[in-house]
Amino acid sequence: MKNLFIVQCLLLLAMIAHSQKWENSIGQLNHYESSRRVIEHYDKGYLISAQYDDLGWLVKTDINGNVLWNKVLGEYSDQIITEKTLIDELGSLFLFGIMVQDIEPFWPLVIKLNACGEKQWCKLLYQNDYEYGSFIDALFLENGDLLALANMPDEEQYDMIFLICFSNDGEYKWEKSFASKVNYPHFGMRLGNRIQITNNMYIISGYVYSPYPNGDTNHFYQRPMYIGIDDEFNEQWVIEYGISDSLLGKALTSIAVNDSLFLGIGIYKHSGFYDAWAMYYNNKGEEVENFIFTNSMFDPQIEKTAFYDIQNINDSLFLAASGFCYQGNDDNITGEIIFDIAGNISKYEIRDGIKNGTRYLIKTFDGKYVIATSSVDNNLNRDVYIYKINENLEQDTIYPGNYTYDSLCDHTIESGVIDLAGCDIITSIGEIPTLEEYRENMQKISITASPNPSNTGEVLLEFENTEILPASPPLIPPRGGTVPSLIVYNMLGKKVHEERVYRYQCAARIDVSDWPAGMYVATIFSHGQVKGKCKVVVSR
């Protein structure tokens, strides 16, 4: 079965529908393919995070959207959804999403592939204290760490939205909950959908169920939610957007308009219908203005509209990937809307041939736009569909010429299956330090002794995190301490050794040949405080 599945994937190129217009359908008959996100690769090709039946799917295309290779993630016993892909300067790929095993709930999953598309590691948060979980979005921090947005509701819905940080090597570093019921006891179900960093502020866009102010606390209503977080990951504010005007709906993403103003987009819901919704708010967590794009603004036969993703054309003009429904027809048609900062529509396009699916939008190297979605034909066959347009909503044409792809890999990348068996599993979020615990640990210096016990006449002390030490000693030593020093005490508290320790110093070798056998404590002091300690045993 596995070999047959690989062969089917390798036949993918035969299914590409290609024309002079920049557009492609990617898929096979009798299989379910659905696009999630698209990013521009370093070689001006594209990487599409998608689904192939119940499995994750990573598709690499050339500059014109033609498939170069694809990787199916997981085996038939698994169910995988990949939501977001990041790429670092070495070409390594980080895929964030969901894994479902057997009949268990789904849980957050992250996978690292090298520049050749080969698995390096994968991590699964199998959280016993939560009902289910998912990684829904992610971004890079300045130091190269990865910051993932996770939804993990507990039974009482106290903590549901998390930021989880881990290193390039897969070390989980810290976690922190946001919009907690501890601080907002009236909140019900709430989920984050997207995280961005804009103007030194992290913004989570999503939705929350909450009652009307002073209303029946047993009745909850869905509202857009925006969470503002500073660059130290302190929650600054939470907006239940539209609560004072009795507006209902959800937010899908945000972009910065200027240094203090943000634009969120999503869906306004009313009487069983929905409209595209633009929501302005500022960096103080205050609503500024909102515009609901009613169906009367479009074709008279349109009765539903929605915003899914957005990009800036310039400082005051925006292009949104959108959806439309005709009267009496539930098919969600793909299209785009261009509007200005005052909510005036300058142009829109309804692409009648492209039905259903989410839409994700990126701005490309040449100032144009690629949209990844899914198409459904009259036989209900679903394929990934990508197309490229300019700021006038005209479809782009293909690029002539030959291009070099995947140059960071030393061999040709082949399509195939990536087995995700053996992922590292964290069974409790308590195994991940909180941000506060992580910060406290980062103010400590780890000391390791070897050999320990020592009967060789010397001990090597190795240090980690000495970058927290001052770059130069203070002019006046602090009261109760000296300049950064390594001091070793015997069990009677008598000092038997002392030496200066420098910033970024990684080790110190100590002669213990004259020390009596017994236990000693090696301690690093800085600014009069203990920054790290380690027991050392000398034997004879």
Count other Cβ atoms within 10 Å, centred on residue 402. 5
Smallest CA-to-CA distance from 400 within 22, 27, 6 is with 22
Edge-to-edge strands of the sheet including 201-210?
190-198, 201-210, 221-229, 235-240
Contact 374, 359 (CB under 8 A): no
Burial 37-50 (b: 16+ CB within 10 A, else e): bbbbbbbbbbbbbb
Report the DSSP beta bridge partners of residue 60. Answer: 47, 69
Tell me: pLDDT of 8 over 70.
no
Give the H or E element holding residue 162: strand 161-166
Determine the 3-state secondary structure of 278 from DSSP. strand
Block residue for tokens 């066959």 = 381
Task: Note the pLDDT tens digit of each residue in 399-455.
Answer: 999 999 999 999 999 999 998 888 888 887 778 888 888 777 778 888 999 999 999
The predicted pLDDT at position 105 comes to: 81
Q: Under the phi-then-psi rule, with left for phi > 0, alpha for psi from -120 to 50, and beta for the rest, what region is 328? A: left
Count other Cβ atoms within 10 Å, centred on residue 533. 16
What are the CB-based long-range contacts (under 8 Å, 24+) for 245-248? Answer: 246/212, 247/223, 247/290, 248/221, 248/222, 248/223
Separation between Cα atoms, residue 150 and residue 178, nearest integer Å: 10
The predicted pLDDT at position 106 comes to: 86
Contact 379, 30 (CB under 8 A): no
CA distances from 334 to 11, 46, 297, 492 (A): 27, 20, 17, 77
Q: Residue 33 phi/psi, 5° resolution?
A: -120, 130
* Mean pLDDT score, 100-126: 88
What is the rounded radius of gyration, in angstroms, for the C-alpha atoms of the chain? Answer: 28
Separation between Cα atoms, residue 313 and residue 390, nearest integer Å: 10
Separation between Cα atoms, residue 324 and residue 316, nearest integer Å: 24
The predicted pLDDT at position 258 comes to: 93
Percent with pLDDT over 90 in the chain:
63
Tell me the two tokens of residue 254. Answer: 């945000």
pLDDT classification of 473: cutoffs 50, 70, 90: low
Domain ranges, ordered by start, for the chain: 77-178+411-434, 443-538
Point out the least confidently predicted range of 11-20, 90-99, 258-267, 446-455.
11-20
Task: Note the pLDDT tens digit of each residue in 275-311.
Answer: 999 999 999 999 999 999 998 898 888 889 999 999 9
Tell me the two tokens of residue 403. Answer: 């291009």
The predicted pLDDT at position 9 comes to: 45
Tell me the two tokens of residue 176. Answer: 């922190």
Tell me the two tokens of residue 179. Answer: 């919009």
Report the DSSP beta bridge partners of residue 211. Answer: none
pLDDT classification of 102: cutoffs 50, 70, 90: low
Tell me the two tokens of residue 35. Answer: 């696009």
Residue, of 331 and 359, whose pLDDT is higher: 359
pLDDT classification of 472: cutoffs 50, 70, 90: low
pTM, 2 dp: 0.82
pLDDT classification of 470: cutoffs 50, 70, 90: confident
Smallest CA-to-CA distance from 253 within 362, 344, 343, 334 is with 362
Block residue for tokens 């090709």 = 45
Determine the 3-state secondary structure of 136 from DSSP. strand
DSSP class of residue 478 equals: P
pLDDT classification of 482: cutoffs 50, 70, 90: low
Mean per-residue pLDDT of the chain? 88
Smallest CA-to-CA distance from 176 within 233, 130, 128, 237 is with 233
Tell me the two tokens of residue 106. Answer: 């789904």
Task: Note the pLDDT tens digit of each residue in 24-60.
Answer: 999 887 788 888 899 999 999 999 999 888 888 999 9
The predicted pLDDT at position 77 comes to: 64
Tell me: pLDDT of 475 over 80.
no
Q: Which fold has domain 443-538?
A: Immunoglobulin-like (2.60.40)
The predicted pLDDT at position 354 comes to: 74
Q: Residue 453 phi/psi, 5° resolution?
A: -70, 155
Cite the beta strand spans of 480-528 per DSSP E: 485-490, 495-500, 507-511, 518-526
Tell me the two tokens of residue 206. Answer: 């999503």
DSSP class of residue 475 equals: S
Contact 170, 188 (CB under 8 A): no
Smallest CA-to-CA distance from 336 within 265, 281, 270 is with 265
Tell me the two tokens of residue 281. Answer: 């708010």
Contact 526, 470 (CB under 8 A): yes
Task: Note the pLDDT tens digit of each residue in 240-262.
Answer: 999 999 999 999 999 999 999 99
Contact 67, 57 (CB under 8 A): no
